[in-house]
Every structure is written in C-alpha cells, then in structure tokens.
Amino acid sequence: MTARRIIKVGSRGSELALCQDEELLALLRPLFPDLDFQVITVRTQGDINTTGALAEMGLGIFTREIERDLLAGEIDMAVHSLKDLPTELPQGLTLGAIVQRQDPRDVLINRWGCGLKDLPEGARIGTSSPRRQALLNSLCPQVVTVPIRGNVGTRLEKAQGEDYDGTVLAAAGLNRLGLIQHISVYLEPEEFVPPPGQGALGIEVRADDQEILDMLKNIDHQDTRSAVTAERGFLEVLGGGCQLPMGAYARVSGHALLMNVFLGSGSGTGSDVFVASVEGGSNDPMQLAKDARAELAKHGAAELLGTQAKSGGLRGQ
C-alpha cells in the first residue's frame, strides 16, 4: 500500500490560529482527498514575549519563525492572519493564496453594552494597538485607553475584570472562535478603519514550489486579493514599517476598488488624525494605494507623511 503524501502546514499554536488552519483545510481537503494535511505549530517571538508592547516589537513578531521553517523545507505552507504579515516577504517566499476574507471590522466590547459615543467619561478601554488607541481618542475622547496583552480569551477575561471596562477586538477572530455573544457593537470600517488585511488569511509558500502553488490557485479569492493588495500597498507606500498609527480598508464594487485610509500622528491625543477615501480600478490596487497617500496629503497630512518617511514607518495593528 502506497503511503499518502503529507503536506505540512505551519502555524502558530494559539486557539485562534488553529481555527484558521481548519478554515484553510476545510477548503483543501475536499479538493485533494488523496493528500494528508498535517498542522505543525511553531512558537513565534510574539507568542514567547507576552508582556512587551506589540508596537515596540515591530512587524514580523508572529511570522519570522514560521517563515524560517518554511524556507528550511520543514513545512510546505504557512497560514497567517494577513494583518500580521509584513508587506516585504523574505526572499524565496510568496503569497500562494489569499482566502476569502471574513468580517474585516473591529468590535467594541464593554460592560455597558453600548456604542463608542455612549461610553461614559473615564471608561477604561483596553488596547495595545496604536491604531485603535488613536481612533478611540479621536472618536470618543472621553475614554481612557489602557494597555492590554494576551490572546482573545485572555483579553476578553481582562476586559470583564476590575482593571478594564472594555476592549476592542477583531470581529473575525471572535467569529472564528464562536465568541460573538460578547460583542457590544460592530465598528464600521469606513470610520473605525481596520489594519491592512484584517479578517483575511494569507497562505505563504516557497516561490519555487510549483506543486503547492498550483494547489493553492484553487482557493485564491480574487476580490479579497485585490482589496488586501491595495491595503498592504498603502502600508508599503507609507514606508512599510510600523511607527505611526494607520489603517486601510478596501472592497471591490463591480469593476471598481474603493478604499478608506487613516493616518494618525502617534501623539496619543487623537488630535492629529487624517482620513481619506479613494476609488480606482480593481485591476490596479497598487495605483489605488498611491492615490490614497496623495489624497491624505491633500487632507492635511503632507507634513506627517514626510516625517514618517524619514523616521521609518507605521504602526498598523
């Protein structure tokens, strides 16, 4: 009896990451019933360091070790939350597929079950995201943002404890974990702009592995790829790093691609927040990214854009 070919799928070992793996495998197994898919969990620096500020640890803290194993041939593909994946991939790696995106929105969870505008004065909202902090300070300056770390379950538990009144999380993560009952309100992405790629899974592979590339063509979702390419392109034209709060949300509408972008000063006051909306052809997402940067400059962010280019980048999470 011939042994079945094993395809090794690399992933973080968190409960959410394992749910994301199953989402991918539910697409691949029916298409390739003669293959065995084996999930290989990898501890990343972001998993090891559970107390450091994410914004200071930089992009790639949840992906570097997985990419190392992929390049070494220890795994055949890697599953990432696309918002965690830097825009510049290591030489020899490529995105073989971008799976159809789930809900891109952030959600607010709080003890009163209310929306942003109704949060009481001094409400303590937990977040370690410079983007979420800047947006919260801009849209509801009456709240106090408090640092919070941990996986989704840990942050939910902390948000219901004595030190917090609530938190902001990604809708897709709660949906994948079956925890949507905790949501107080969904935050519309045109106003509370998500980070590039939120809700989407990116499948990273070796660029010369044609067999795996051909396999993944079957699950690549073109509208999602166009949208997140524009979002990640916006981060790239801003510098590709992670020093200022930013967000980008794109969606396909017919033959058009629409995108809302956000850029903050990083001052923590919410006073210097710039937003813009752009529209272009869905066949040229990188041009839309460039247009978004230009539109932000027209909306008053020219000086901030020049400053970040010299200092090194953006904080997108």
Over its C-alpha atoms, the chain yields an Rg (Å, rounded) of 19
pLDDT value, residue 302: 87
CATH of the domain at 288: 3.30.160.40
Answer yes or no: do 217 and 77 share one domain.
yes
Answer yes or no: do 81 and 49 share one domain.
yes
Query: Has residue 195 been placed in a domain?
Result: no
Answer yes or no: do 211 and 242 share one domain.
no
- Separation in Å, CA 98 to CA 24, 81, 82, 226, 307: 10, 10, 8, 10, 33
* Residue of 34, 36, 47, 84 marked catalytic: 84
Query: Has residue 248 been placed in a domain?
Result: yes
Answer yes or no: do 236 and 217 share one domain.
no
CATH of the domain at 134: 3.40.190.10
Answer yes or no: do 211 and 78 share one domain.
yes
pLDDT value, residue 170: 97
pLDDT value, residue 314: 43
**Which residue is listed with tokens 């360091």?**
49
Q: In 227-272, which ranges are E strands? A: 246-253, 256-264
Q: Return d(Cα 233, Cα 61) in angstroms, integer.
A: 20
Answer yes or no: do 62 and 208 share one domain.
yes
Query: Has residue 317 been placed in a domain?
Result: no
Q: Return d(Cα 45, Cα 78) in angstroms, integer.
A: 16
Answer yes or no: do 183 and 208 share one domain.
no
Q: Containing domain of residue 263, as a range? A: 230-311
- Condensed to tens digits (0 to 9), the pLDDT of residues 221-266 reads 999 999 999 999 999 998 755 478 999 999 999 999 999 999 998 7
pLDDT value, residue 40: 96
Q: Return d(Cα 150, Cα 208) in angstroms, integer.
A: 36
Is the CA virtual torsion 208, 212, 215, 221 positive or negative? negative
Residue type (1 letter), 149: R
Answer yes or no: do 77 and 213 share one domain.
yes
Q: What is the pLDDT along the chain (317 residues), one digit of tens a residue?
A: 556 899 999 999 999 999 999 999 999 999 999 999 999 999 887 666 655 555 555 667 778 999 999 999 999 999 999 998 999 999 999 999 999 999 999 999 999 999 999 999 999 999 989 999 999 999 999 999 999 988 899 999 999 999 999 999 999 999 999 999 999 999 999 999 999 999 999 999 999 999 999 999 999 999 999 999 999 999 999 875 547 899 999 999 999 999 999 999 875 555 588 999 999 998 999 999 999 999 999 988 888 887 654 444 444 55
How many domains does the chain contain in total? 3
Backbone angles phi, psi at 259, to 5 degrees: -145, 135
Answer yes or no: do 143 and 10 share one domain.
no
Answer yes or no: do 95 and 116 share one domain.
no
Answer yes or no: do 136 and 89 share one domain.
no
pLDDT value, residue 310: 44
Query: Has residue 260 been placed in a domain?
Result: yes
Question: Is 208 a catalytic site residue?
Answer: no
Single residue among 187, 209, 241 that ends a domain in this structure? 187
Answer yes or no: do 208 and 262 share one domain.
no
Do 196 and 81 meet the contact criterion of CB atoms below 8 Å apart? Answer: no
